[in-house]
Amino acid sequence: NALKSYAYNLRNSISDEKLAGKFDPADKAKHETAINDAIGWLDSSQEASKEEYDDKQKELEFVAGHIMQKLYGATNAAG
């Protein structure tokens, strides 16, 4: 459930009106791909182990973390 919640929260963040226009298009595409990959993996991996879920969440956090850090760094610098 943690991975699913995280993936959907990330999806909502890139759709948020306040943030959507601030993403670099390449970063947004990477973000969307990582989110869709995670959600697709969840749908096809109902029997996966806790470790597999944890690993998949770490992968998504790695991609999203860099993009969000870049986004918030640019937003703070501009603000």
pLDDT score of 74: 62
| pLDDT 10s digits, 8-57 | 999 998 888 887 788 888 988 998 999 999 999 999 998 999 999 999 99
Domains of the chain listed by start with CATH number: 2-77 (1.20.1270.10)
Task: Give the DSSP per-residue string, the chain.
Answer: -HHHHHHHHHHHHHH-HHHHTTS-HHHHHHHHHHHHHHHHHHHH-TT--HHHHHHHHHHHHHHHHHHHHHHHHHHHHH-
pLDDT of residue 46: 87
Q: Is the pLDDT of residue 78 over 90?
A: no
Predicted TM-score (pTM) above 0.85: no
